Structure 1
Amino acid sequence: MRGGAVATGVALSTQTVVPGDLFIALPGARTHGAAYADEAIAHGAVAVLTDTAGAALLPDGVPTVVVADVRPVLGPLAAWFYGFPADTLKTIGITGTQGKTSTSYLVDAALGSRHSGVIGSMGARIDGEPLPSKLTTPESVQFQALLARMGELGAQVVVSEVSSHAIAMHRLDGMVFDVGIFLNLGHDHLDFHGTQQAYRDTKRELFTSRMSRRGLVNIDDQTGRRFHADPELNVESFSIEGRDADWRAIDIDLGPDGSSFTVVGPEGQSARFTTPIPGTFTVSNILSAVAALDRVGHPLEASVAGIARFTGVEGRVQFVPVDADFRVVIDAGHKPEAINALLCALRPSVPGRLITVIGSNGDRDAHKRPLMGRFSAMASDVVIVTDDNPASEDPALIRRAVVRGTRGSSAEVHDVAGRAEAIHVAVDLARAGDMIVIVGKGDERHQIMADGIVPHSDPDEVEWALARRRAAAD
């Protein structure tokens, strides 16, 4: 350490620094956090933790702790500073390409939203009440602060989404989950990880003894079977497809308005569950949620009532109430496998046509765009390709790549510029018995365009499109 000081807090951003804090100066994509040390010190920071490159940017006389790599140090430091809050909680971490948010909310629902904390892409909450949070998995300091706050407010079980970015960037170092859940692995985040193998290997880290005491892995997924066969991992298996798993869903009765099934555990645990949320993926997510809870002391039977009452997460397989003779579903899915799973699950409950509105993000994983078009066209009668968050890219080029994937299908395909206009086209095309599925944004209320962020709401556009359709019919 260079210089001497006593720190009474930890801060990652100059905006959150209060007098007495240790300022954490991380390297960034464009600039080093140490470049903002003067501002942090002006706000009251008494010392800086950084790496060698950051130390070279600091003014003379600033008390400094220099380490080779800040991130692996930051997690244990934050856990220590907040008194190792995870040690007094039962913790469940969920990873997977899709379903993390829904499964975390299913855990909360099974607990009746009592003594329950949730951390994830829709923010953090305890007993159903929101707490401030950003990112799917917050940075180490905020994550440990949330755990500590949840413990203070009476939480006994905390469930967190665990993104591959969070694992790779050491945001969860310094704690061990009681149970880690693996849901599935699809094509995503290759812009960050580089290869599918690197993405898979990063997910695998959650199930090592460094991060979880016990794992629950979906062996209906190829990667889950790989993890289950890995002798270095302490994992149990779950399946809804009749595989020889530790945890199974059997006697599954699927319907357009929900499902019922029996969960059977390795020690003879058994309970019958019902859910108003349709789809096989919902059955799988519930199975993982209630099995994980059983392993932290909340038995299957205690989860039945909460699961039966839970109607879903906003923007995740959300049935929008419409005064029409067709149905509308909104979902946040923006990955090929997620879209395929959603549409295949909904298809049996659609007496008419399945009309899918789909787009793809700009500045992200361009290779997946044709796959998104392909999967949507395989399961849909009508595909309307439009804009999601084009960001700095030309929206027309993104749409063209998605449309390319639909070639050779029997689906009727439309290329429609502007997401609002595409939703209006879908509503105008819909007939009695049809289902419109709008994927990509879910609960988001904005679009990221080349010239900035603009307001947008899929549910609002559906309402306006219906109003326009009714007015035209009068």
Structure 2
Amino acid sequence: MTSTARMRPSHPVDLPLAVLVDLFSLVSAGRAVEGTVVRGVSMASDDVLPGELFVAVPGAKVHGAAYAAQAVDAGAVAIVTDEAGRALVADLASRVPVLVAPDPRALAGPLAAEVAQHPAARLRTVGITGTNGKTTTTYFVDAALRAVHASTAVLGTVELRIGDEAIESPRTTVEAPVLTNVLARALEQGATAVAMEVSSHALALHRVAGTTFDVVAFTNLQRDHLDFHGDMDGYFRDKARLFAPGQGRRGVVVVDDEWGRRLVREAQIPVESVATHVGDPAAADADWSVVAADVGLDGVGSTFTLRGPDGREHTAASPLPGLVNVSNAALAIVVAHAAGVDLDVAITAVAGAHAVPGRMERVVERAPGRPLAIVDYAHTPDALVLALDAVRPITPGRLVIVFGSDGDRDRGKRPIMGEIAARLADVLVVTDENPRSEDPGEIRAAILAGVREVRPDLTDVHEVTPRSEAVRHGLAIAGEGDTVIVTGKGHEPTQEIAGVFHRYNDRDVFLQAVADGLADAQPATRDGGVA
């Protein structure tokens, strides 16, 4: 797990613990709180610094209170937990104050925000949720914010970045105390605006509690994370938490799917709607709409016309290919405008945004004897359709896909992914993604079951492991006019197999293959068949 210690504020402020006890109605179950001061909050025992408050919450397997002694040894000056945790820390009650609350997880963010003097309130903040497009849209919004703010912060799946300082992100949305630390440090470093991804897990687990966003945004809702949310209604309800008073001040919602339209009806804060599908009837009622789009054939970007609430039309562009990125760019422009950026400035800045790591990332350019090679994070059925549809127009030859599916996650999507790949790509290389605790072969078998629905004889289908060899295989069998797209992991720097994280990145494998001369070799047989 990536350490976030570098993202703590350099000059934390001490706050009497008694203030927190009174403000949050905490019940004391240990030594007296008088005389104890707090300078930070942590939920990770191995990340506690001296003077911090340790919040111990129930975990999926182990209660965080089981690690309270480690936290106290590291310098924690008090513990906040629930009744179950209180019993586990009884022997620490003579060493530090133990404070009890019904839901300590929900309190972690507000506690951290109070200790850090509410850094989010002193920044222009944007939070973006949805199934697909969060990362790309966040980077597009950041590009627009940077056009008017001297320094900005970005928090999401790829990285935690303040100005030019960045670390790998441990998850899409960090725990609430870490979020507060990053925002406080951003203020110290002179940042005045932040754009961040907000996952459904984060909303369900209160990771953004204590932060009120100036603008919140919704991209779409597609099948994903049903192992956690239960069904699509549960998934939607957790996403909709971002559009509640106290969490967001105003919202921007893409209404290309039924879930976006429902969110506009049910949101408890003022929202603007954006329709990005040309000709969609929803555009008639939307505040903003894309009325024309040209995805182009250069594979670099797309142009489109965005109509505003006043009826005026604006020529805009996405620096990434495909209609999906027209949607992301249109949303980013409207969000940035809602966050105070002049509309024309936002349009220009989004069009010139830099490439997003692992999102339609062109790693190897087409050249004599060499295919185009792309890395994309698409790991849901709908994202896979959008990715392959975006790449097909820029592929004069065959479209080769290297892909798998995650272990310990929604098993129902595996055959769906296989069917989509078999229908939209020409050559399939089925491999492993993050098997986690599952048997990789069983995951691949489920994918291949979906492939067989389209190609019973598995024509042009290869099963190759490990993933690095699958990527190299895809490149080796591709010719000059072909495109090789590797999906599912995008920017990710590790691969989890049997509970162990191994350093791995699809982009690095592509580049090493090119260095080895693999991309310049003559294509292997085009017959296919499961390898």
Verify same fold: TM over 0.5: yes
Equivalent of 2:251 in 215, 223, 237: 215
Equivalent of 1:80 in 95, 104, 114: 114
Equivalent of 2:239 in 180, 192, 203: 203
Q: Does 1:8 align with 2:38?
A: yes
2:213 maps to amino acid: F
Q: Does 1:162 align with 2:210?
A: no
Report 1:268-347 matches (<5 A).
270-322=313-365, 323=367, 324-347=369-392
Q: Does 1:138 align with 2:174?
A: yes
2:292 maps to amino acid: D
Deviations 1:180-233 (A, max 9, x none): 111011111112112221111111111122321111111112210111233645
1:4 maps to amino acid: A
Give the C-alpha shift of residue 44 in structure 1: 2.2
Q: Does 1:110 align with 2:140?
A: no
195-204 or 444-453: which moved more? 444-453
Give the Cα–Cα distance (whole angstroms) in 2 for the partners of residues 46 and 446 of structure 1: 35
1:77 maps to amino acid: L
Give the C-alpha shift of residue 384 in structure 1: 1.4
Report 1:36-51 matches (<5 A).
36-51=67-82
Give the Cα–Cα distance (whole angstroms) in 2 for the partners of residues 463 and 173 of structure 1: 41
The answer on whether the counterparts of 1:167 and 1:202 sit within 8 Å (CA) in structure 2 is: yes
Aligned Cα root-mean-square deviation (Å): 2.1
The answer on whether the counterparts of 2:358 and 2:376 sit within 8 Å (CA) in structure 1 is: yes
The answer on whether the counterparts of 1:316 and 1:330 sit within 8 Å (CA) in structure 2 is: yes
Give the C-alpha shift of residue 469 in structure 1: 5.5
Give the Cα–Cα distance (whole angstroms) in 1 for the partners of residues 519 and 501 of structure 2: 28
Equivalent of 1:397 in 442, 450, 453: 442
The answer on whether the counterparts of 2:143 and 2:349 sit within 8 Å (CA) in structure 1 is: yes
The answer on whether the counterparts of 2:370 and 2:519 sit within 8 Å (CA) in structure 1 is: no
Aligned-residue sequence identity (percent) comes to: 42
TM-score of the pair, normalised by structure 2: 0.84
Give the C-alpha shift of residue 400 in structure 1: 0.9
Going from structure 1 to structure 2, the CA distance change for 1:472 and 1:269 (only over 3 Å counts) comes to closer
The answer on whether the counterparts of 1:377 and 1:409 sit within 8 Å (CA) in structure 2 is: yes
Deviations 1:136-184 (A, max 9, x none): 1111111111112212222222111000111001111122211111101
Give the C-alpha shift of residue 302 in structure 1: 1.1
454-463 or 235-244: which moved more? 454-463
Equivalent of 1:468 in 513, 518, 521: 518
The answer on whether the counterparts of 1:7 and 1:47 sit within 8 Å (CA) in structure 2 is: no
Q: Does 1:250 align with 2:295?
A: no
Going from structure 1 to structure 2, the CA distance change for 1:232 and 1:414 (only over 3 Å counts) comes to same
Give the Cα–Cα distance (whole angstroms) in 1 for the partners of residues 116 and 242 of structure 2: 22
Deviations 1:365-390 (A, max 9, x none): 11110111112222111111111111
Going from structure 1 to structure 2, the CA distance change for 1:362 and 1:51 (only over 3 Å counts) comes to same
Equivalent of 1:416 in 433, 452, 464: 464
Give the Cα–Cα distance (whole angstroms) in 2 for the partners of residues 104 and 155 of structure 1: 16
Indicate the residue corresponding to 1:24 in structure 2. 55
Give the C-alpha shift of residue 70 in structure 1: 0.5
The answer on whether the counterparts of 1:277 and 1:311 sit within 8 Å (CA) in structure 2 is: no
The answer on whether the counterparts of 1:396 and 1:417 sit within 8 Å (CA) in structure 2 is: no
Give the Cα–Cα distance (whole angstroms) in 2 for the partners of residues 445 and 173 of structure 1: 28
Give the C-alpha shift of residue 413 in structure 1: 2.1
The answer on whether the counterparts of 2:243 and 2:267 sit within 8 Å (CA) in structure 1 is: no
Indicate the residue corresponding to 1:385 in structure 2. 430
The answer on whether the counterparts of 2:337 and 2:343 sit within 8 Å (CA) in structure 1 is: yes
Deviations 1:61-101 (A, max 9, x none): 23111011101112211111111112122211100111111
Q: Secondary structure at the match of 2:291?
A: strand
Q: Secondary structure at the match of 1:441?
A: coil
Q: Secondary structure at the match of 1:117?
A: strand
Indicate the residue corresponding to 2:504 in structure 1. 456
Indicate the residue corresponding to 1:366 in structure 2. 411
Report 1:345-356 matches (<5 A).
345-356=390-401
Indicate the residue corresponding to 2:66 in structure 1. 35
The answer on whether the counterparts of 2:53 and 2:80 sit within 8 Å (CA) in structure 1 is: yes
Going from structure 1 to structure 2, the CA distance change for 1:140 and 1:451 (only over 3 Å counts) comes to closer
The answer on whether the counterparts of 1:227 and 1:233 sit within 8 Å (CA) in structure 2 is: no
235-244 or 87-96: which moved more? 235-244
Q: Which runs of 5+ in 1 are unaligned?
A: none
150-159 or 445-454: which moved more? 445-454
Indicate the residue corresponding to 1:236 in structure 2. 272
Give the Cα–Cα distance (whole angstroms) in 1 for the partners of residues 122 and 297 of structure 2: 41
Indicate the residue corresponding to 2:12 in structure 1. none
Going from structure 1 to structure 2, the CA distance change for 1:465 and 1:190 (only over 3 Å counts) comes to same
Indicate the residue corresponding to 1:433 in structure 2. 481
Q: Which runs of 5+ in 2 are unaligned?
A: 1-27, 524-531
**Structure 1 runs of 4+ with >4 Å offset:** none
Going from structure 1 to structure 2, the CA distance change for 1:468 and 1:346 (only over 3 Å counts) comes to closer
Give the C-alpha shift of residue 270 in structure 1: 5.0
Give the Cα–Cα distance (whole angstroms) in 1 for the partners of residues 482 and 356 of structure 2: 23
The answer on whether the counterparts of 1:208 and 1:234 sit within 8 Å (CA) in structure 2 is: no
